[in-house]
Structure 1
Amino acid sequence: MTRPTTVLVLDDNKINALSSLTGFLTDRPGGMAGLTLQGLSDPAALDGYLNNHPEIDVVIVDAEFEKVSNQMTCLTAFRTLVRRGGPLAIGFSQDAYGRLLYPFAVCQLLPPSKHQVVVGWAYKNDKGLAEIGRLLDLIAASDRALPAPAGLRLCQPEAPITGEFMGKILKSRSDAMLWKEMSFSHFPYADLALAASIAERTAIQKIGKYFAEIKEFQLQMAVDEFHPLGAQAIFNIPEKPDRGPKKRAAADPKKEAVEAFAQAHHRFFQAPELVDIVIEHDLYPKGRRREKWWKNTRLKTVKPSGGGDGDRQEPQ
């Protein structure tokens, strides 16, 4: 007899998260049949929890964990899951600006895994709950291949323009430090250069390149009908009143636009792990980055180790 699919919900407010997900799944046709939910609030405990609970098939990961840790975000959780090679993982976050860049970072900055680990991303609204239910149904149907997730279509490295966005704006530690500083407030180039340990001229050049990349990113996102960023004004050159010819000449609209983007997504750019992840990404063998990210995961049913009385699903 095939055992239920066991789902771990990783959320700093695990009681509310479990209640919301259970309520939605219970009310749909078929209810909770074939599903078992568990909860965990701290991403630092994820690795040990999975070691002690080999029955976990899927981990649903929140974006941020302010109630239990100011040092970890979903980047820690997904890095753990990718390094382990599983279980399967689904991102589940608020559709607020500060959280909308996380799936791009997960797909583009973390190393490619041997087996597919990240199989979807949804947002905490009615549409997102429906997407979670759909993904869990697909995973439970172990004889079917998982299709490439629509929620990550623009985030995958193969996607035109948006698929290379993280690698272009976060190439090195100095890039990560620049973005972190700009996400706090408006600073002169000299202060930004000092924070990133680079020359002021280099900071000016980098921010000019960021402007071009953000503009292309915005144009691509604006035509998307699925992602929450689609058709939203995430890239704007700030409009300011006429301040006279001298002050107008001193204005730097490209820098202001990049700073506006950084501050709109300040939660992401201030993620404690981001600098380390960018450094690790910069050290990856470049040939590996050409590996296809989506591996058309098919699940197979295998006997669990340790004499268990059920079957377990593993990606192949």
Structure 2
Amino acid sequence: MRIVVVDDILEIGHTVAQSLRGTAHDVHTLLTPRALAVALREQRFDLAFVDVDFSYESPETGLTALRHLAAHGVPSVIYSADSEDNRVLFLLAAFQFYRPLTLLSKRANADEIRELVDDFQRSGMTTVTDKEGDRYRSRDRPSLLDGLVRSPVDLTIWENLSTHVTRTEIAMASFVSPRTVDYFLAEHYDAMLAIQSLHSRAPIISVLPDGDGSKKHFLAPMHAFAVTHFRFFQDPEVRALVVERPVVRVSTEASRGVQRRRGRRR
């Protein structure tokens, strides 16, 4: 098979190539999603290993690479480091929108890489059911990611949460009222906690103390979350996905939760 590794660290591609040394597989390494787009115009690949988060030198992320691969019908494996606290949203988006075959840790040794590739070749690229990948596959609707970002306005507020620290600043940068920011914080707090508790190795932020309705208890942890994931919230690829997706409606139970939180502030 012709295999492409899309990663901004050249040694990562060498690792895959060395793991498959002595086989009939042909491994190519590309350092950016843009380089992948160019290569796909003239070359055919049977399988891709894709990192989701690239260095600051690249304006594009792994989501762009996955879009290019999907357009050419190339199945993909997410090849990611285990230190995923700042990658969790990219992983959720990758599995929700592009359905990669599996998630492979960069700690995988040569035998594990070779076995995985051989299994794909024998099975005709059948999706692998694995514990790590299953953490990010969205079986529920709305998904965890849907609950976090329901509309383009939500994405704008998250983006500005990563660069501003007061309600007024966030509201002005987002072209909404401070009251809209308050509602957003209350409405999205539980979704943030759900993602942290299920998918992050970072310490979990505590829930609000009973009876304490201070706005800062929403703002501080959600600002920290936005800073951790600012590359995701500022990714043009994410915005394109959100704009193209129908607006996610808040469930009745979620609406009641927001009303309870708003009631604490009265």
User: Could you tell me the TM-score, scaled by structure 2's length?
Assistant: 0.78
CA RMSD of aligned residues (A): 3.0
Aligned-partner Cα distance in 2 for 1:78–1:180: 22
SS state at 1:204 partner: helix
Q: Tell me which protein shows more helix as a share of its residues.
A: 2
Q: Distance in 1 between matches of 2:147 and 2:3?
A: 35
Computing the radius of gyration from Cα coordinates, the structure with the larger value is 1
- Aligned residue number for residue 140 of structure 1: 121
1:141–1:261 CA distance, 2 compared to 1 (3 A): same
Q: 2:46 aligns with which of 48, 57, 61?
A: 57
Match of 1:74 in 2: 62
**Unpaired runs of 5+ in structure 1?**
222-228, 240-247, 285-316
Change in Cα spacing, 1:267 to 1:68, as seen in structure 2 (3 Å) is closer
The change in CA–CA distance for 1:235 and 1:196 in structure 2 (over 3 A counts) is farther
- The alpha-carbon distance between structure 1 residues 171 and 32, as it changes in their structure 2 partners (threshold 3 A), is farther
Say whether residues 1:175 and 2:157 are aligned partners.
no
Q: 8 Å contact 1:235–1:261 — kept in the other structure?
A: no
AA paired with 1:170? Answer: V
Q: Does structure 2 conserve the Cα–Cα contact (< 8 Å) formed by 1:174 and 1:197? A: no
8 Å contact from structure 2 (residues 101, 126) kept in 1 = no
TM-score when scaled to structure 1? 0.67
Q: CA deviation at 1:149?
A: 4.2
The alpha-carbon distance between structure 1 residues 277 and 13, as it changes in their structure 2 partners (threshold 3 A), is same
Aligned length: 244
Give the structure 2 partner of residue 257 of structure 1: 221
Pick from 3, 6, 24: which aligns with 1:7? Answer: 3
The 3 A distance-change label for structure 1 pair 100 and 218 is closer
Change (3 A) 1:66 1:216: closer
In 2, the alpha carbon distance for the partners of 1:250 and 1:151 equals 37
The structural deviation recorded for 1:124 is 2.3
| More RCO (CA 8 Å, sep 6+) | 1
> Structure 2 stretches of 5 or more lacking a match?
249-266
- Provide the residue aligned with 2:204 in structure 1: 235
Q: Cα deviation per residue 1:221-279 (whole Å; 9 max; x = unaligned)? A: 4xxxxxxx3xx33431499xxxxxxxx98562122121222222233223343222211
Check conservation: 1:104, 1:155, Cα contact below 8 A.
yes
Q: Identify which of 239, 242, 256 aligns with 1:275.
A: 239
- Distance in 2 (CA, whole Å) between partners of 1:32 and 1:183 is 47
**Alignment partner, residue 23 of structure 2:** 33
